Chains A and B, each alone.
Chain A
Amino acid sequence: MSIPEEIDFEVDADELTPLVDRDRELGAPSLVVDDLYITYRVFGGKRVAPGTGTPPNLLSRFLSRGRTHVGGITAVEAVRGISFIARHGESIGIVGVNGSGKSTLLRAVAGLIPPTKGSVYVSGDPSLLGVNAVLMGSLTGERNVMIGGLALGLTQDEVEERFDDIVEFSGIGDAIYLPMNTYSSGMGARLRFAISAAAVPDVLMIDEALATGDAAFRKKSKDRIDAIRDQAGTVFLVSHSLATIESICSRTLWIHQGKLVMDGPSDEVCAAYKAFVKAQDSRG
Chain B
Amino acid sequence: MAPHHVTAHVTDPVHPSGPHPTDGSVNGVPIPSRPGRAVPADGELPEELGVFASSDDLRAVAEASGLRQMGVRPPLGEYIRSVWARRTFIRTLGNAKAYARNQGSYLGQLWSVLTPLLNSMVYVLVFGLLIKSTRGVTNAIAFIVVGVFMYRFFDSSVSSGARSIKGNLSLVRSVHFPRAVLPVSTTVTELATLAPAIVVMCLISWTSGLLPEYADVPITWRLLLLPPAVLLMWVFNTGCAFMVARWVAITPDLENVIPFALRFVFYASGVLFSVTHYAGHGPIAHLLNYQPIAVYLNLARSAVLDEPTIPVDGVMWIFGAGWAVLFLLVGFFIFWRGEERYGRD
Q: Taking beta carbons and an 8 Å cutoff, which residues of A are in contact with B? A: 22-23, 25-32, 34-35, 38-41, 43, 81, 83, 85, 87, 90, 107-116, 119-128, 130, 132-134, 136, 138-139, 143, 146-148, 150-153, 155-156, 179, 250-251, 254, 256, 259-265, 268, 271-272, 275-276, 278-280
Residue of B nearest to A179 (CB): B103
Residue of B nearest to A279 (CB): B43
Q: Are B23 and A25 in contact (CB under 8 A)?
A: yes
Residue of B nearest to A271 (CB): B39
Q: Is B196 positioned at the interface, with any CB of A under 8 Å from its CB?
A: no
- Output the least CB separation between A228 and chain B (Å): 17
Known: A83-B58, A121-B62, A262-B46. 7 other contacts (CB 8 A): A85-B33, A121-B59, A123-B66, A136-B100, A260-B48, A261-B47, A262-B49
Known: A43-B252, A85-B31, A152-B175. A111 touches B48 (CB 8 A): no
The size of the chain B interface, using a CB distance under 8 A, is 68
The secondary-structure label for the interface of chain A is mixed
Known: A151-B175, A179-B103, A263-B49. A30 touches B92 (CB 8 A): no
- Output the least CB separation between B331 and chain A (Å): 21
- Output the least CB separation between B101 and chain A (Å): 9
* CA of A122 to CA of B71, assembled, Å: 10
Q: Taking beta carbons and an 8 Å cutoff, which residues of B are in contact with A? A: 1-2, 4-6, 9, 20-21, 23, 26, 31-34, 39-40, 42-53, 55, 58-59, 61-62, 65-72, 86, 88-89, 92-93, 96-97, 99-100, 103-104, 168, 170-177, 252, 340-345
A residues less than 8 Å from B170 (CB atoms): 132-134
Known: A108-B71, A112-B343. A85 touches B61 (CB 8 A): yes
B residues less than 8 Å from A120 (CB atoms): 69-71
* 13 residue pairs A–B, Cβ–Cβ below 8 Å: A26-B5, A111-B176, A113-B173, A113-B344, A114-B72, A114-B340, A119-B59, A121-B65, A121-B68, A139-B99, A261-B46, A264-B4, A276-B45
Q: Are A134 and B171 in contact (CB under 8 A)?
A: yes
A residues less than 8 Å from B59 (CB atoms): 32, 34, 119, 121
Q: Are B1 and A83 in contact (CB under 8 A)?
A: no
Q: Are A279 and B62 in contact (CB under 8 A)?
A: no
A residues less than 8 Å from B31 (CB atoms): 29, 85
A residues less than 8 Å from B48 (CB atoms): 81, 259-261
* CA of A124 to CA of B290, assembled, Å: 48
Q: Are A32 and B58 in contact (CB under 8 A)?
A: yes
Q: Are A115 and B71 in contact (CB under 8 A)?
A: yes
Contacting residue for A113 out of B1, B103, B343, CB 8 A: B343
A residues less than 8 Å from B50 (CB atoms): 81, 83
* Most A C-beta atoms less than 10 A away, residue of B6, B31, B170: B6
* Most B C-beta atoms less than 10 A away, residue of A31, A85, A107, A132: A85
Known: A138-B104, A262-B40. A29 touches B46 (CB 8 A): no
Contacting residue for A276 out of B43, B53, B86, CB 8 A: B43
- Output the least CB separation between B318 and chain A (Å): 37
Q: Are A122 and B68 in contact (CB under 8 A)?
A: yes
Known: A83-B58, A119-B69, A268-B1. A28 touches B21 (CB 8 A): yes
Q: Are B5 and A260 in contact (CB under 8 A)?
A: no
* Most B C-beta atoms less than 10 A away, residue of A179, A251, A261: A261
Known: A151-B175, A265-B4. A113 touches B71 (CB 8 A): yes
Q: Are A114 and B343 in contact (CB under 8 A)?
A: yes
* Most B C-beta atoms less than 10 A away, residue of A124, A251, A276, A280: A276
Q: Are B55 and A35 in contact (CB under 8 A)?
A: yes
Q: Are B51 and A87 in contact (CB under 8 A)?
A: no
Q: Are B6 and A146 in contact (CB under 8 A)?
A: no
* Top-4 shortest CB links A-B: A279-B43, A111-B70, A121-B62, A114-B71
